[in-house]
Every structure is written in structure tokens, then in C-alpha cells.
Structure 1
Amino acid sequence: MLLTPDNKLKKLIVIGDRVLIRPSKADERTQTGLYLPPGVHEREKVQQGQVIKTGPGYVIPMPVENEPWQNEEEHVKYVPLQAREGDLAIFLLSGATEIMYQGERYYIVPQSAILMLEREDEL
């Protein structure tokens, strides 16, 4: 499969309650005017960026019943995450893991480290 700008992240699978975020530039402002002033980055260790991919969510534990009539396949169920692709996320750097992929910088962030989301569509 040839990697193009459109499909270069398709091979990445985000696990569990993690979110893949492309960081914004320090002075980048959203359409609604939301941005983090430069001083906040140093003092509070907070970053903002666009949500690129999300994991499936929190796993719901399955009951530990082994009945002979049950199907052998286990179907895993998840509680979905609040973050969606395209959201602007403001998150704590202390909970994030910085990675480089295809020459670009990204953060892998657990949902618990996300402080706020801005979404373009109605909630």
C-alpha cells in the first residue's frame, strides 16, 4: 500500500481510551477565537491540538460465566470516548506521550488528561 497524505495514518490503531492529537502552534487561534496564550504553555504545562484518531473507549468487563450453551467467541464492548476526530483538545502534557510519525509530531493522550474539547458541530 502506497502511503499518501490522505492515508498515512490509516495504519495506526489507537488503543483503549487513548487519543492521537496533532499539536497546534502556540499562537494558533481557532475559528471561535479560542487559543492558549504563550505563558500558559510554560506555567501550566498545557497544550492544545486537533484530535486525529481515537481509541474504541473503556472496556466493559464481561461476566466470568462459563456456561456450556454460550458461544465461545467473546464480544468485547466499550464505553465510547467523548473526544471525536476533528475536535480541538486542550490537554495536560504530563499525561501525554510525544511521538514522531512520518516526520510529524503527535501526542498520544489518555482521555483523563484532556481538560476541554471544542467541537465545530452542535452538541
Structure 2
Amino acid sequence: MKFRPLHDRVVVRRVEEDTKTAGGIIIPDTAKEKPQQGEVVAVGPGSRDETGKVNALDVKPGDRVLFGKWSGTEVKIDGEDLLIMKESDIFGVIDGKASVKAAA
């Protein structure tokens, strides 16, 4: 990728969720919500404090994160749909292969 985010910005690729519920019902594309999970693709160097010192970000490329439903700005880079958001828009990092289901 030829894009480098600045300051405390993070580039995230949405991770598609299952198209089937736990009960086996298939969810059509028109009823799907946008996933709130993603994989961090790139991170900026960090924000500066009052003294000019750069504070590094807590996330790194490859982390699987959970973010708000309306977080970030959708962009298309190299033909791929990505989100650019501030690190503060990320709720947390998901450890392991666990998947978080949104409440209905």
C-alpha cells in the first residue's frame, strides 16, 4: 500500500462477519449491517503532546480491533475499501480468533 497515515490515524480493513445466524438462518445482503470489526492495515507515528514528544499508538498492523458503528471515514485505496479513523475511535483489540457478535 502506498498510503501512510499521519499522527494518531489508523487504517482499518473491515472483516466480514458470518452470513448465517447461530440458528442457521441465512441473512440476505440487504439486511446485513456493516461489520464493526476490522484488521489494522497501517498506523501513524502517534500524536504529539504539549512538549512535542510523540506518543506511540497502542495498536499495530495486523491487530484485530473493534470500533464504533459510525467510526472513521470510508476511502478506496488501490481498489480496496478501507476506513481511516483516529485511534480513539477504536474500542479495543480482540485477542485470538474469537468473534464478537453485535447485540440485536
**Compared CA separation, residues 93 and 109, structure 1 to 2 (3 A):** farther
Question: How far did 1:119 drift?
Answer: 4.5
Correspondent of 2:38 among 42, 45, 49: 49
Moved over 6 A (4+): none
Aligned residues: 85
Report if aligned partners of 2:40, 2:63 keep a CA contact under 8 Å in 1: yes
Correspondent of 2:73 among 88, 94, 97: 97
Gaps of 5+ in 1: 1-8, 29-37, 63-75
Question: Scaled by the length of structure 1, what TM-score is found?
Answer: 0.60
Aligned to 1:86: 62
Report if aligned partners of 1:52, 1:86 keep a CA contact under 8 Å in 2: yes
Report if aligned partners of 2:38, 2:66 keep a CA contact under 8 Å in 1: yes
Question: How far did 1:95 drift?
Answer: 2.6
Gaps of 5+ in 2: 20-26, 97-104
Question: How far did 1:116 drift?
Answer: 1.4
1:116 paired with 2:82, answer no
1:19 paired with 2:21, answer no
Q: Distance in 2 between matches of 1:58 and 1:22?
A: 22
- Rg larger for: 1
Report if aligned partners of 2:16, 2:35 keep a CA contact under 8 Å in 1: no
Larger relative helix fraction: 1
**Compared CA separation, residues 91 and 46, structure 1 to 2 (3 A):** farther
RMSD (CA atoms): 2.3
Q: Distance in 1 between matches of 2:35 and 2:53?
A: 32
